[in-house]
Structure 1
Amino acid sequence: MMLDDLQKNLEDAARAHGVPGAAIAVWADGALHEAATGVLNVNTGVEATVDSVFQVGSTSKVWTAALVMQLVEEGLVDLDKPVATYLPEFTLADADAAARVTVRHLLTHTGGFEGDIFTDTGRGDDCVDIYVKGLSTAAQVTPPGEALAYCNSGYIVLGALVARLRGAVWEQVVRERLLTPLGCTQAALYPEEALLFRAAFGHVTPPGASEPVPAPHWQLPRSLGPAGSMLNLAPRELVRFARMILAGGVAEDGTRVLAEESVRQMLTPQFKVPDLPGFGGHWGLGFTIMGWGNGAYGHTGGTIGQSTIWWIAPESGVVLAVNANGGDVDSLVEDVVNPITSQAGLVPETRPVPPAEPARADAAPYVGVYAGPQVRYNVAAVDGALEVKITVTGPISALGLPDTAVRFVAYGEHTFIGTEPLGGQHQVISFAMKDGRAARLFDGRALPRV
């Protein structure tokens, strides 16, 4: 694989697409290739290096899943037993549904309850336990096991399960059972640990601005750690984890981190993902099994102004991890990552675009309001299309993000695509129907009609 121009390609793409700073690590042909460019914070001008740590966001979910599988190996957890077996305090607004939610449901985002509850329960070691107790009012959107809808809340519950059975906080378990045996050195969990490294700060582009600026907050609440708020890594550490997976659970130095059977189960398709851009393929246990031709698996991540792309190509043995701290990351991926994806024998996903002449849709069945804990869609029908007002709600509204009005046109059966890009992407949404009327809107999350 030709990676001689990796540094230049990353520099050129970051400059062209307004990305303040980025780093990449690629394992190919038995060697690690790394590059970094830009700055970690436009206000301080601290240079991004290959040693810099970035927030990896939801990529952390695979690490949490690995901790659960270690418990399965030891006979401490059965994937198909109810979560309440291990966490008796776990309940939801629908107590009957909560009693049926299994560990496997949480690993595969099929628990069916509200997934974006971002409650800040403080910095104490009991923050995740308090979070789990707070789910007692969380609404059930679909019956357990019926549909896949991305669920941060479920992975926080898994983190609580890991902490309870290990007798330690989630962060300690991650360090003792993954970071240390893997040999990770460029890794931080708490803000005070991140100060020991060159740590990236996220950037956002305010409405009407042409350049990204530092986000108003560096980190999401600690209570969200098992789902993606606490883990800061250099790209090479994601590669290190991936190589362990490729080796059937064995780290570089020969330490067994996961049983080979655990790895096999994590990579076995468990549930079909709704066929929307960015969500194609299946979900395994923690991993996204990507529909990219010849097979690939991995997980993306996003926090406040920081993004992670991470995938593994098992046939070629190529691993890639990219971190960036703002700007048009999707375009950077097209310029830098997609050529590597193709060389690894995969078919990179192309960004969807609206049809030149979209068909007129009978929009009446979709008109209504759909809402979850963090976002609300107000859908109206206009001239054979949908006019949608998107409002950010909940804790994320503190970022000051404005309401967005988007026109959506027909893109498939009960599926629509935005005519104007948001953040570099034309958003695609779909609707679940009941008795000829939309009951839920799916944008990666399942949002019920209200």
Structure 2
Amino acid sequence: MDLQKRLDEAARAHGVPGAAVAVWTRGELVEAATGVVNANTGVETTPDSVFQVGSTTKVWTAALVMQLVEEGLVELDRPVKDYLPEFAVADGSESAITVRHLLTHTGGFDGDLFEDTGRGDDCLDKYLAYLTGAGHVHPVGELFSYCNAGFAVLGALVARLRGKTWEQAMREHLLDPLGATHAALLPEEAVLYRAAAGHIGPDNAVYTKGELPRSNAPAGSTMYAAPRELVRFGRMFTAGGTAEDGTRLLSAETVAAMRTPQVEVPGVSGMLGDRWGLGFELFDWGGEVFGHDGGTPGQSTFWRVVPGADFVIAISCNGGAFFGLINDLVLPVIRECTGLAVPESPVPAEQPARVDTAPYVGRYAGPMIAYEVAAADGGLDVTLIPSELMRTMGAEGKTTRFVHYAGDSFIAAEVEDGMYETATFVMGDGKAAYLHNSRALPRA
């Protein structure tokens, strides 16, 4: 497997400034890196380079929570409020929201709340106070809707019960026992490594708006890691909860529980899991596959574990068409090394069916983004309206033509950044109640 040549070619084809990949297969670690970590400085990317891993952090936070469960300090089906009495949301449903609901993104409240509550060690406590205004999305437990805020709450739970910061708990209970050497949890730690900068927009301009809030660190705002550290973490799960040196971090029963499906994800999966476990995305690829992806402004991470083949892969890049990189490099490598029939990413039919679009037309909105959906020649014109914060992260308003894919799912007519975007409508009372594309955005 000429990983280096394939990475170089794929990165060049998709305008990726820099990327690093690590693969555990056939009992050995194979690594490659290409390009630069920062287009302004020209510093070369190496396998030691650390990238922001974004929401991949959520599985690390989930593991910290499950350690507390093993110790008898937390019960999955008890209300979060039992452990964090100040936890509350605007609709008063907090007494029904359990730890399991947060781990499975079924808590029902607004998830994309990136309030900056400062750099102090009390940032998660302040974030809990801010969440009292979190809006209602769906009844508790009724639907999967990706929720960053829920993992910030789980981070606060870990910090409270450990009597230390989330970052300290991560170091003492996961990173150090694993033997991870190239990982950072705060910007001042990241500068000690060859750290990647994000690149955004068609010109791959270096992202200069600063770090995301520390209050969202347990959900993925500040963690950096070299791909090999994600591989190391994944191997802990294939080994039933033990690190490379035999240190036990989780019981085999806990590892199995985290990989057990808890909730279906509506619609066409694309790169998203078909189901969710306790922190993990779970994929229907003809054999057990789990993992999690992540993204911050201009940086993206893809991480998959195939326990039956003793295979783990992690790749991070700092701009360009990341999904093109995945389709051209990563998915073929998974197929070759595991024998799994990894499905191709969804594409529109040559002649999409014309359907009655009236039930889908309307406006759907969340705190970070809104969509205006209009009928258009048997399909839909979907107009993205990003919030001001999303604009600072490189998002731009645009209108995309969607055509029918299957059921209540639609797919973009044109490819963008290496993939066709999909959108699914969750129905209720004869018309769509939500537009779902990992988040459930209620009809306004």
- Specify which of 15, 20, 36 is matched with residue 18 of structure 1: 15
Q: Distance in 2 between matches of 1:158 and 1:183?
A: 24
Match of 1:224 in 2: 216
Quick check: 1:218–1:304 contact (8 Å CA) kept in 2?
no
1:419-438 matches, cutoff 5 A: 419-438=413-432
What letter is aligned with 1:188? A
Match of 2:87 in 1: 90
Q: Distance in 1 between matches of 2:418 and 2:211?
A: 24
Q: In the alignment, does 2:409 pair up with 1:415?
A: yes
Q: Distance in 1 between matches of 2:248 and 2:5?
A: 37
Q: Distance in 2 between matches of 1:218 and 1:331?
A: 27
Offset at residue 352 of structure 1 (A): 1.7
- Specify which of 342, 347, 357 is matched with residue 335 of structure 2: 342
Offset at residue 410 of structure 1 (A): 1.3
Residue correspondences, number: 442
Q: In the alignment, does 2:169 pair up with 1:169?
A: no
Match of 2:109 in 1: 113
Match of 2:353 in 1: 359
- Specify which of 55, 76, 81 is matched with residue 73 of structure 2: 76
Match of 1:55 in 2: 52
Match of 1:44 in 2: 41
Match of 2:5 in 1: 8
Match of 2:313 in 1: 320
TM-score using structure 1 length:
0.96
Offset at residue 425 of structure 1 (A): 2.0
Match of 1:279 in 2: 272
Query: Secondary structure at 1:253's aligned position in 2?
Result: coil
- Specify which of 132, 139, 144 is matched with residue 143 of structure 1: 139
Offset at residue 400 of structure 1 (A): 5.2
| Distance verdict in 2 for CA 1:260–1:400, change over 3 Å | closer
Quick check: 1:216–1:399 contact (8 Å CA) kept in 2?
no
Offset at residue 13 of structure 1 (A): 1.0
Offset at residue 196 of structure 1 (A): 0.6
Q: Distance in 2 between matches of 1:280 and 1:399?
A: 24
- Specify which of 113, 118, 122 is matched with residue 122 of structure 1: 118
Quick check: 1:294–1:345 contact (8 Å CA) kept in 2?
no
1:164-203 matches, cutoff 5 A: 164-203=160-199
Q: In the alignment, does 2:374 pair up with 1:385?
A: no
Offset at residue 449 of structure 1 (A): 0.9
Match of 1:298 in 2: 291
Bigger CA drift: 343-352 or 219-228?
343-352
Measured against aligned partners, the alpha-carbon deviations of 1:267-305 in whole angstroms (never above 9, x if no partner) come to 111112223222342211111111111111111111111
Bigger CA drift: 39-48 or 262-271?
262-271
What letter is aligned with 2:413? T
Measured against aligned partners, the alpha-carbon deviations of 1:167-189 in whole angstroms (never above 9, x if no partner) come to 11111110111000000101111
Bigger CA drift: 12-21 or 337-346?
337-346
Quick check: 1:274–1:280 contact (8 Å CA) kept in 2?
no
| Distance verdict in 2 for CA 1:180–1:319, change over 3 Å | same
Match of 1:268 in 2: 260
Q: Distance in 1 between matches of 2:3 and 2:416?
A: 28
Q: Distance in 2 between matches of 1:312 and 1:160?
A: 28
Quick check: 1:201–1:218 contact (8 Å CA) kept in 2?
no
The gaps in structure 1 that reach 5 residues or longer are: none
Q: Distance in 2 between matches of 1:223 and 1:396?
A: 17
Taking only aligned residues, the RMSD between alpha carbons, in angstroms, comes to: 1.2
Q: Distance in 2 between matches of 1:217 and 1:224?
A: 16
Q: Distance in 2 between matches of 1:353 and 1:363?
A: 20
Quick check: 2:267–2:424 contact (8 Å CA) kept in 1?
no
Q: Distance in 1 between matches of 2:361 and 2:260?
A: 38
Offset at residue 30 of structure 1 (A): 1.1
Query: Secondary structure at 2:43's aligned position in 1?
Result: coil
TM-score using structure 2 length:
0.97
The gaps in structure 2 that reach 5 residues or longer are: none
Measured against aligned partners, the alpha-carbon deviations of 1:137-159 in whole angstroms (never above 9, x if no partner) come to 11121111111111111111100
What letter is aligned with 1:27? W
Runs of 4+ in 1 over 6 A off after TM superposition: none
Q: Distance in 1 between matches of 2:274 and 2:348?
A: 22
Q: Distance in 2 between matches of 1:424 and 1:372?
A: 26
Query: Secondary structure at 2:309's aligned position in 1?
Result: coil
Query: Secondary structure at 1:315's aligned position in 2?
Result: helix
Query: Secondary structure at 2:432's aligned position in 1?
Result: strand
Match of 1:371 in 2: 365
Q: Distance in 2 between matches of 1:284 and 1:401?
A: 30
Q: Distance in 2 between matches of 1:16 and 1:432?
A: 36
